[in-house]
Chain A
Amino acid sequence: MMGMTEAHVRFLNVTKRLGTTLAVDRVSLDVPEGNFTTLLGPSGCGKTTTLRMVAGFYHPDAGEIYVRDVPVTDIPAHRRNTAMVFQEYALFPHMTVAENVGYGLRMRRVESTQARRRIGGVLELVGLVGQESKFPHQLSGGQQQRVALARALVVEPEVLLLDEPLSNLDAKLRVRVRTEIRSLQQALGKTTIYVTHDQEEALSISDRIAVMNQGRVVQVGTPQEIYYRPADRFVADFVGLANFAPVQVVAPGRVRLDEVVLPVESAVKPGPALLVVRPETVSLAAAAPTASDRPALRGRVKTVAFLGGLARYWVETVGREWIVDHAAPGEQLLSGEVYLTLAPERMHVLYENEVTHDGEGQA
């Protein structure tokens, strides 16, 4: 666990009940200064509720949130400096772009020439110079999103909160805007908490990801840790695609899958376990490979989907089915009998009794 002073925002056993459901259940999480942390999880997992508690829209039933070691749960929302970008932007429809962006400054009674300068500055930052006197409904979705971002940034918040800010944009724009948000955040060094249910978005944008399920933080880690070393089956399943196979760890580094013994580097403790294999870590060949240290599984292609940059195969081996991604497949797709080779260093082992982590920072 990290020391008190290193965390910019710190959740300690935060619990929140909404109606009869336990929306957030004893969440503890540290967000370091300047860090981009994403709360990732399926809808109803408590991620938005957690974010809203930072903003002060909800009061936790138990636990405490600290910002720079100061407990904030009793500070009303309007006195916290935690500007938020809302999922539906929540731009004021009766105000122009400049008035929207300047709203927080007006509430802070910032003197008008200074306010104008800051509004100009932040609009330049998000590329909206010249749109000052337009109303939100005259802007495109992407532009509205930038106004929302500018409105949050202009007050120089202690922490920037983003609640699924890209979900109202179309797929192409989403990718562009998320790159922009990330580079803006890095340029400003702003501590940011970001909420999304989109695992690809989370992987691409975050310094750290906290995966949530049923109100609990299940795992905290870098995108790579989350992807390659998921803490439990839920994380493995929710983040990316995965093949699961029940195995028996027979010796350190060796597991038995059905009748085959495979080398798996992460297998340490003997006993029953679950093997997690990412589709792109499996190699696929039409003929049996010759290297003897990596036994190949013989299978048959059931179906294949050509996705451009990769081909996704569903391959049936004895008693199970594998999803295998073949990068840069070219024009010739495989069919019929194929051989699967699993990379010992890229597979992950989950032990059956592996419980979910309690959310202590691992980073």
Chain B
Amino acid sequence: MGWHWRAFDAPGHPGLAVSEPVAVIRWGEVRRHAGDPGVALAFAGAAVMLGLFVLYPAFRVLVYPTLQDYLEIPRSLRWMQAARNSMVMMVISTLTATLSGLIFAFAVTRPDVPGRRFFRNIAVLPIFAPPFMVAFAYILMFGRQGLITKTVLGLDANIFGWHGLWLVQTVAFFPLAMIIIIGVLEGINPSMEHAARNLGADEWAVVRTVSLALARPGIAGAALVVAISVLADFGNAVVIAGGFPLLATEAWFRMEGLADLKGAALVVAMLIVPTVCLFLLERYWVSRRVYTTVTGRGSRVERPPTHPVLKWSTFLFCGLMSVMIGLVYFGVVAGSLTAVWGRDWTVSLAHWRLAMDRIPTLWASVKIGAMAGVITGVVGVAVAFLTSRRLPLRHVLDFLAVLPGALPGVFIGVGFVLAFNRPPIELVGTPWILALALAFWHLPMGYQAAVATLKQVERSIEEAATNLGASGLRVLWDIYVPLLRRAFLGAFTVSFIRSVTNVSIVVFLVTPGNIVATFAILNMIGNGIWGGAAALTTMLLLITFASVGMAQAVVGRTMRSTPMG
């Protein structure tokens, strides 16, 4: 395992790792590259694509309602309530998810916490789950018909509502925080902790005055990324929030129930105000304050021992959370094999037979996912290559490529409907509208994976090639393409998996000819066909893990054949 965690860093959001070096424009180089027609053409092409599929839909959403509509927002009780609820959920879920992520990250970066490898592997599992799966599984486990609540404990529990959503979002989003904070904690030179101990700090004091103090900006960054995800969370909310109005789900209710395009546009426009603010805060403020890379990695020394109380309490917490994660997968698989959930616990394959009827929706998902994956991979790698040149306006390109990370899926969904439902570009009803929306929403991940790979390329390698007479595009082909195969594959896989499991964009763009699996599952859950939904979700999971496994195998091979690490 390894590379795909990086690639999954903060889905939809730029990781902390990427920070642009200060621009030093060397005019000689600019002229040289701008004079290269291939590079200039690629640059223009990328700019047009990003403008069309990132900026234009966003622009359409924002101008669709009139100024009057905007001014009337405060008078709509339901919208104000949804906005308030979204803010409350953002605060509480972000707090618990970040705290859980911090505890996990702490435990797995200690050398002496038992089971740390197991915890690290199990904690990333929610990232591979379709975005409604945690909520769905917890209804099966803790709902009115819940295996644990009703059958084991004999309780009449109602999980629908804000408290259920809180639990679900905590479990679903803490892995994001964990991955970011692991990076930060691992970046802390163990010598810091040794120095603190050497100067008289006990285990507690080391954690308090050094480890946590150094990780503070990173933890803040993780919290911001989690907050964006919580605000944008559609899948879990639509399944478990019940009658609790939230901005992310309100947009869909407007459109589905009332065909109220203007209302939907207004709601998603309200939603991007906080997400864009959080995004800018993370990207341009917090990530500039990360200390850990200042001294770099020092000698390979183990970290000093952990205080026993700290060690065993984190171990206990991680164990408990691992059970909660295990239940997510267990619940869905068990649900697909149980005759009547909550009443008749005999094993049955009836739900699988039902799910077999929906196989065409799975194929549609795979097809659209593959299209999206290829687009994300190609555009991500190409834009990363272009922004690594010292070209004028490259910062604009960079910004456009990471911007979708600030936009919730429902915003993209509404945006594509508004932008491409009529000439000149009419895409509604074709699989292309789904593929393009998903591809450009996942672009930041593919782009940043490619940027990270490009940073590994020694500038001198390229200079050597140029020195030997290679043109700009020739350099791309000879030097970068072999190195970027891995970046492409990573971007493809992430985009594919997330497209196949997506709901927030899909619900706005599916048409009768293009029903995808997640949409079918959502409908089944809504109609109480839990067994069938569970079986189809299990199939989706199989596809997800199979593609991760395949990508691993391919990357493993190319890594052996190319000496680049």
Contact = CB atoms under 8 A, between A and B. Distances in A.
A302 to B, nearest CB: 36
B199 to A, nearest CB: 4
A103 B199 contact: yes
Contacts of B213: 92, 94
B201 interface: yes
Given A87-B299, A93-B295, A94-B214, A57 B201 contact: no
A151 B295 contact: no
B34 interface: no
Contacts of B201: 78, 103, 107
A90 B298 contact: yes
A73 B460 CA distance: 50
B291 A57 contact: no
B199 A93 contact: no
A104 interface: yes
A165 to B, nearest CB: 13
Contact of B198 (A55, A87, A94): A55
A319 to B, nearest CB: 44
Contact of B200 (A87, A90, A107, A137): A107
Contact of A88 (B197, B199, B291, B299): B299
B196 interface: yes
A83 interface: yes
Interface string A77-101: 1110011101111111110000000
Interface in A141-168: 151-152, 155
A82 B198 contact: yes
A90 B198 CA distance: 11
Contacts of B191: 86-88, 90
A77 B291 CA distance: 26
B205 A93 contact: no
A193 to B, nearest CB: 13
A107 B210 contact: no
B304 A57 contact: yes
Nearest to A108: B200
Contact of A107 (B189, B199, B216, B294): B199
B362 to A, nearest CB: 48
A82 B198 CA distance: 7
Nearest to B302: A57
Nearest to B289: A94
Nearest to A84: B198
Given A57-B301, A88-B299, A93 B194 contact: no
Given A78-B201, A93-B214, A107-B200, A86 B304 contact: no
Contact of B298 (A83, A88, A104, A151): A88
Nearest to A88: B298
Contacts of A91: 195
Contacts, number: 82
B199 A83 contact: yes
A52 B298 CA distance: 15
B295 A155 contact: no
Interface in B193-241: 194-202, 205, 209-210, 213-214, 216
A107 B205 contact: yes
Interface size class of B (residues with CB under 8 A): 20 to 34
A77 B197 contact: yes
A83 B198 contact: yes
Nearest to A148: B195
A9 to B, nearest CB: 16
A88 B214 contact: no
Nearest to B201: A107
Contacts of B192: 90, 92
Given A57-B304, A107-B205, A93 B294 contact: yes
A78 B194 contact: no
B306 to A, nearest CB: 13
A77 B189 contact: no
A104 B199 contact: yes
Given A77-B304, A93-B294, A94-B291, A155 B200 contact: yes
A137 B289 CA distance: 13
Interface in B173-195: 189, 191-192, 194-195
Interface in B287-305: 291, 294-295, 298-299, 301, 304
Given A57-B301, A93-B294, A78 B210 contact: no
A151 B196 CA distance: 11
Contacts of B195: 84, 86, 90-92, 151
A277 B299 CA distance: 37
A76 B202 CA distance: 9
Contacts of A108: 200
Interface string A56-89: 1100000000000000000011110011101111
B506 to A, nearest CB: 44
Contacts of B291: 93-94
A76 B204 CA distance: 14
A86 B194 contact: yes
B295 A78 contact: no
A78 B294 contact: no
Given A57-B194, A88-B298, A94-B214, A155 B304 contact: no
Contacts of B197: 56-57, 76-78
A93 B217 CA distance: 13
A258 B304 CA distance: 58
A137 B205 contact: no
A90 B189 contact: yes
Contacts of A76: 197, 202
B214 A78 contact: no
Contacts of A103: 196, 199, 201, 209
B200 A88 contact: no
Contacts of A86: 191, 194-195, 298
A69 to B, nearest CB: 22
Contacts of B209: 103
Contacts of B294: 93, 137
Most buried by A among B192, B205, B214: B192
A81 to B, nearest CB: 8
27 contacts: A57-B301, A76-B197, A76-B202, A78-B198, A78-B200, A78-B205, A83-B198, A83-B199, A86-B191, A86-B194, A86-B298, A87-B299, A88-B191, A88-B295, A89-B295, A90-B191, A90-B194, A90-B195, A92-B210, A93-B214, A93-B295, A94-B214, A94-B291, A103-B196, A103-B199, A107-B199, A155-B199
Given A78-B201, A94-B214, A151-B199, 10 more contacts: A55-B194, A77-B198, A79-B200, A82-B198, A84-B195, A88-B191, A90-B194, A93-B214, A103-B199, A155-B199
Interface of A: 55-57, 76-79, 82-84, 86-94, 103-104, 107-108, 137, 151-152, 155
The 6 closest A-B pairs by CB, nearest first: A107-B200, A104-B199, A90-B191, A90-B195, A88-B298, A77-B197
